[in-house]
Amino acid sequence: MKHKLKLILVLLLFIWGTAAAQSDTAPGDAAIAAPSIPPPAPVTNLQATDTDNDHGHAITLTWEKSTDDGAGANAVVAYDVWRWYPLEMDVVDSLRQDLAATRDAVRAFRIDLPRAERALEELQEDAAKLNTTRFRVAVPDVPGFTLTVDYALSKLADTIAYMRDNRPILMSRIKPEQQELAQALERLTQAHAAFPQNGEWRTIGKALAGATSFTNTGSKDQTSSDFFPDYSDLYYRVEAVTIDPAVRSEAVQVGPVQSKGQWFHTGKIPVVLFVVMFLVFTVTFVQLAKKGTDLYVRPLSGIEAVDDAIGRATEMGRPILYLLGIGVATEVNTIASFSILGRVAKRVAEFQTPIIVPCYDPIVMAVAQEVVKSSFLDAGRSDDYRQESVFFVTNYQFAYVAAVNGIMLRERPATNIYMGKFMAESLLLAETGTLAGSIQIAGTDEIAQIPFFIVSCDYTLIGEELYAASAYLGREPVLLGSLKAQDWAKAVIMVCALMGMVATALGWPAFAHFFQVTG
Amino acid sequence: MSRASIVVLVLVCVAFAASWVVRAGANEGDAAVRDAFLVTLAAFLTLAIFSFMYRDNPYYKFAEHLFVGVSAAYWMCMGFWSTIVGNLVPRISESLSDFFQVPYSGGGLDFGLFYFSYRYFYLIPIILGILLLMRLVPKAGWISRWPLAFIVGTFAGLNLVRYLQSDFIIQISASFVPLFVDWHGFGHFFSGLSLAANGQFVAMLSNLVVFLGVICGLIYFFFSKEHVGWFGGASRLGIWILMITFGASFGYTVMGRISLLVGRLTFLFGDWLGIIG
Amino acid sequence: MGNIGVILMLVLIGGGLLWLFIRALRGREVDRRVVFAFILVSVALPLLLTITFEMKPTPVVEALYDRIDSLPSGSRILISFDFDPPMAPEVQPMADVITRHVLAKGHKAIFMTLWATGQSQFNVTLQDVIRADFPEKVEGVDWVNLGYKAGNEGVLNVIRTDFKKMFPTDVNTIPWDSIPILRGIRSCSDFELVISVGGGKPGVKEWVLFVGDPTGVPTAGGVAAVVAPMLYPYYPRQMCGILGGIKAAAEYEDHFRKNYPVFSDMKTPALVMMGPQTVAHVVILAFIVIGNVLFFVARRKEVRR
């Protein structure tokens, strides 16, 4: 009798233990042995909101820390975050996996079928050549394992037949599976709204002690394993957990909340304001320039030397070398260089001096050819234009330098003009130009290269002076208007810097806060 | 060719062969001869480029032209395999993706009655790329301006917000520095005066330099007013600060150049001559 | 023997500078090839004599070190190899020591590159650091190489929101979903730290502009010395650390091996390079001083005349 009781007790304990282990409810719901430390206080003021300024598919939870956070015997070490999942999500997941498996199988067949057919052909040829099937073939990827030729041939033929028969069947399954998945996704919104029926709580992440927020994000891709539905009612729970994971606070629940994307990113308002400001300045000054208003630009010493340098080249009967740098056509410094090249090319056409323009980038070469050609046309010397004077060298940096150095030493140009983006090759070029006895005028906005140009060139345009030069030379309304707009923007920056310094000194954070851009 | 040139050429060839043989003997493994050839070739090309420091010579020219040709071919191949095969092929054709053994990333828009594959969108860059190549045809060269305009416009639009945010607005806010740090009166300041990097005095000095540097540097690049009077004085201070910055930048760049030289000499002494470990 | 070598080097270089100064003072022209020879000697001799100096990390280097060290073990760090062989002498030591630190700390390293040549540079780190010092680390579990993607800023624009779209597989064509280390990574926001090692374009600046600032993920960089001055305005608000040039790499190496004694006998190419670097800088300083002295002497002679 005693033994029978013992057996019944053991069986009861076993059944209870198994049931507890299989339970899908939050641990707090199960009856467990009394903890040795008391449960911590729960979080308070738990809120769930749609994450702002995103494309949707994200919810942000915020809360006030548990009073036991980081202190006491039952100190909180983390916050467990749970989300309620309708069982329909598992159906969606299962359908997604089936569809992915079908697609993978179809793809595998498409790759493996021709391989198997080729292998069969080769094996048949080998057997025919040797006029015997009495040899064995090694099985790939299975070392030491061989098959008789007859067996291998029959197996290959069977496999090929299987793939040929099944591939169309698998392909025909794709569309119905896609439709099934789409229907299941449509049912998700209703499934979420059915809370708390037909679903369960699942842990989705942890926030460390001290944290007061957590963001649950997912993918917008409906075929992804972490698809996060928009416009569905979502419910969350947060529990404060101690060092013993079994000891946790009571769950605080929040919901329903829906995620959605935003059209306007409020974190970028300062960017919008500055863009509008620039736009207003630029349009205003361009209109003023077009009307013929005299817009003052202070003289730049480097640019005044360009005409003299071109004259020198003409007198010496030597060419002018113009380098646009190693930038691409979309960069501002290269675009400014095109303007200056146009001006230089026009002068060169008027004086009938040869010009050499070796280019680093093919697209830059294309644009430079256009610029030089139209300059020659403007000067009335379209016949003197030679397309080969503007040519592509290579778009590998030091190979370009090596080639241009060779040109400098062979052609001995009287004037070297470096305008654009230059990197490590700047001093190599300028030194070789000095060796060749050329007068050198440089302009770049690469801060690292300006010192090299300053010490080795006769005139240097520093940074924005390169952009000002293109406006100063051309006096085109658009360029002049842009330059003036930039100047006014600089004035705004100076005023902002002054105001910011005063505000910071006086302890007014609101002004600095306005310039915080997020996202 | 002069006799001296021939003698030098013979000596160079003999030295090359000797180096190859010696390095092959020192290496181990199946690729010993091949590796020895590559190391010797790299060393000789390095020395050929260095010979330019003495004067221009045929060995430098040979190395230069070899470099130009190989780099052009290398980047052409890289451009094909990385851009055409890496970015375009996986998006337009399953069979081409299989041929080049790259994973096909298909997908499309399912409108129920018909399915619009994403691959058709990629016909647009293909067409634009072909139009760009019209540059090579003199009569049709004007067509290439359209894809060029697309490229310039797209990049300008993509970059506008990024540069404005990171290089403009955040930088402006970084200049909001207090000129008086932890100020509790002159008594407290002078009693705790120190040149420690994290001290109050150094913090105030660096904030002042940052603030003045920003304002005066901006004044130097102000083109709408003549630089006379106090404005000219501030502009002068601005260019001084700029030149100090350029000097620091120059120093960094010199360090970078010396590093490259050290790297090359490490190769010559280590990998080629085996003098250093 | 080492000390004799140092003394010999100092005598040779010092004597040479003195000879140069006297010659120039007498009005004799100094061929530029003499200057080249000085630089060659000042770099070659310390290399042959293996002269090294102790390094103390500067705050901007220490900031990156502390950031990697303070992250909880298992953090996911994205490291982009954005450089080519010409930059490798300066930048490869940085890439190696950062990789070593990340793996030694038990973090998960995800490697990629925006430069076509970056892959071959990563292979150097793979051989010299990952396979040599961390043979127990498993590819796909502790580290993964996603390879190269063409597109420059376009790639960064995409991976800012959807990483898998740009890198559906790793460099061995293993699908993204089959790689354990990549589970849970949807975009750059899911990394604890992003480090770009390089010096050109696309490089650290593009990572800050297109990934760091929009997503808020901490961004750091190791760059060639030429590029470093342009990145200091981003520190510390937009970048959490910068390694600028070989000196910063040497500081990092020294700091790392002092704090991780198990790597005390690791190769320190940056520290070795700082010896010739220092001597060459002293020689260049001497040239600048000599040049300025001669300039003022010549001007005074002109005035007297």
Give the pLDDT score at B218. Answer: 93
Chain B touched by C224 (CB under 8 Å): yes
Residue B101 or residue C182, greater confidence: C182
- Chain C environment of B86 (Cβ under 8 Å): 148-150
Residue of C nearest to A445 (CA): C230
- Chain C environment of A447 (Cβ under 8 Å): 229-230
Average pLDDT over residues A446-456: 87
Average pLDDT over residues A34-63: 88
Query: With bands split at pLDDT 50, 70 and 90, how would you rate the model's confidence at A28?
Result: very low
B237, B173, B180: which is closest to B203 by C-alpha? B180
pLDDT higher than 50, residue A9: no
- Chain B environment of C39 (Cβ under 8 Å): 258, 261
The residues, ordered by sequence, that sit 6+ positions from C211 with a Cβ below 8 Å of its Cβ are C156, C159, C160, C188, C194, C217, C219
Give the pLDDT score at A20. Answer: 41
- Chain C environment of B266 (Cβ under 8 Å): 47, 89, 269, 272-273
Option in B103, B174, B276 nearest C47 (CB): B276
> What DSSP letter does each residue of A133-181 carry, written as one string?
--SEEEPTTSTT-EEEHHHHHHHHHHHHHHHHHHHHHHHHHHHHHHHHH
Pairing of strands B108-110, A459-462: unpaired
Chain A touched by C106 (CB under 8 Å): no
Q: How far apart are CA A340 and CA A343, in angstroms?
A: 5
- Chain C environment of A226 (Cβ under 8 Å): 186
| pLDDT one-digit tens code per residue, A89-137 | 889 889 988 888 887 787 777 777 888 888 888 888 888 887 766 667 7
The answer to whether the CB atoms of A448 and C86 lie below 8 A apart is no
**Residue percentage of chain A with pLDDT more than 90:** 37
Give the pLDDT score at C33. Answer: 86
Place of tokens 């004694």: C261
Option in B61, B180, B223 nearest A483 (CB): B223
The answer to whether the CB atoms of C186 and A226 lie below 8 A apart is yes
From A449's Cα to the closest Cα of chain C, the distance in A is 8
Token digits of residue A148: 């008789």
Option in C86, C213, C227 nearest A448 (CB): C227
**Residues C269/C250, Cβ–Cβ less than 8 Å:** no
From A508's Cα to the closest Cα of chain B, the distance in A is 11
Domains of chain C: 2-52+270-304 (no CATH), 59-263 (3.40.50.10160)
Give the pLDDT score at A12. Answer: 41
Give the pLDDT score at A23. Answer: 42
Residue of C nearest to A518 (CA): C214
Residue B109 or residue C149, greater confidence: C149
Give the pLDDT score at A30. Answer: 46
Query: With bands split at pLDDT 50, 70 and 90, how would you rate the model's confidence at A10?
Result: very low
Token digits of residue B87: 């970015």
Chain A touched by B150 (CB under 8 Å): no
**What backbone torsions phi and psi does residue B193 show, to the nearest 5 degrees?**
-65, 125
The answer to whether the CB atoms of C149 and B86 lie below 8 A apart is yes
- Chain A environment of C216 (Cβ under 8 Å): 518
Give the pLDDT score at C261. Answer: 94
Q: Assign B179 to helix, strand or coil.
A: coil
Least confident of A142-156, A358-372, C197-211: A142-156
Least confident of A79-88, A239-248, C3-12, C260-269: C3-12
Longest dimension (CA), chain B: 84
| pLDDT one-digit tens code per residue, A462-502 | 988 998 888 887 778 888 898 999 999 999 999 999 999 88
From A375's Cα to the closest Cα of chain B, the distance in A is 16
**Residues A497/A505, Cβ–Cβ less than 8 Å:** no
Give the pLDDT score at C204. Answer: 96
- Chain A environment of B63 (Cβ under 8 Å): 402
Give the pLDDT score at C217. Answer: 93
- Amino acid letter, residue A9: L
Task: Give residues 372 to 411 of A whose Cβ lies within 8 Å of C.
Answer: 397-398
Counting as low any pLDDT under 70, the low residues of chain B are 106-115, 197
C275, C274, C290, C276: which is closest to C16 by C-alpha? C290
Pairing of strands C108-113, B108-110: unpaired
Measure the CA dihedral C216/C220/C226/C227, to 10°.
Answer: -10
The answer to whether the CB atoms of B256 and C175 lie below 8 A apart is no
Give the pLDDT score at B95. Answer: 81
- Chain A environment of C86 (Cβ under 8 Å): 397-398, 424
Chain B touched by C267 (CB under 8 Å): no
pLDDT higher than 90, residue A396: no
Task: Give residues 88 to 127 of B whose Cβ lies within 8 Å of C.
Answer: 101-103, 105
Q: Is the ipTM of this complex over 0.95?
A: no
pLDDT higher than 80, residue A387: yes
Helix extents (H) in B101-199? 123-133, 145-164, 170-174, 186-191
Cα A87 to chain centroid, rounded: 35
Chain A touched by C200 (CB under 8 Å): yes
From C300's Cα to the closest Cα of chain A, the distance in A is 22
Option in C189, C213, C230 nearest A447 (CB): C230
Chain C touched by B262 (CB under 8 Å): yes
The answer to whether the CB atoms of B249 and A447 lie below 8 A apart is yes
Query: With bands split at pLDDT 50, 70 and 90, how would you rate the model's confidence at A172?
Result: confident
pTM, rounded to two decimals: 0.79
- What does the mean pLDDT of chain A come to? 85
| pLDDT one-digit tens code per residue, A177-211 | 888 888 888 888 889 989 888 899 999 988 888 88
Give the pLDDT score at A295. Answer: 87
Chain C touched by A226 (CB under 8 Å): yes
pLDDT higher than 90, residue C92: yes
pLDDT higher than 70, residue A78: yes
- Amino acid letter, residue C169: T
Best C35, C153, C186, C288 member to test A by mutation, with max A CBs in 10 Å, is: C186
Give the pLDDT score at C54. Answer: 83
Q: List the domain boundaries for chain B.
A: 3-83, 92-161, 177-272
- Chain B environment of C175 (Cβ under 8 Å): 103
- Chain B environment of A479 (Cβ under 8 Å): none
From C201's Cα to the closest Cα of chain A, the distance in A is 10
Q: How far apart are CA A173 and CA A177, in angstroms?
A: 6
Give the pLDDT score at B110. Answer: 57
- Chain B environment of A402 (Cβ under 8 Å): 49, 63-64, 67-68
**Residues C264/C272, Cβ–Cβ less than 8 Å:** no
**Residues A203/A124, Cβ–Cβ less than 8 Å:** no
Q: How far apart are CA B36 and CA B44, in angstroms?
A: 12
pLDDT higher than 80, residue C82: yes
| pLDDT one-digit tens code per residue, B215-254 | 999 999 999 988 889 999 999 999 999 999 888 888 998 8
Give the pLDDT score at A15. Answer: 40
How many inter-chain contacts (A to C, CB under 8 Å) are there?
A: 23
Q: How far apart are CA C141 and CA C109, in angstroms?
A: 9
Residue of C nearest to A208 (CA): C72
Burial class (CB in 10 A: 0-12, 13-18, 19+), A505: middle
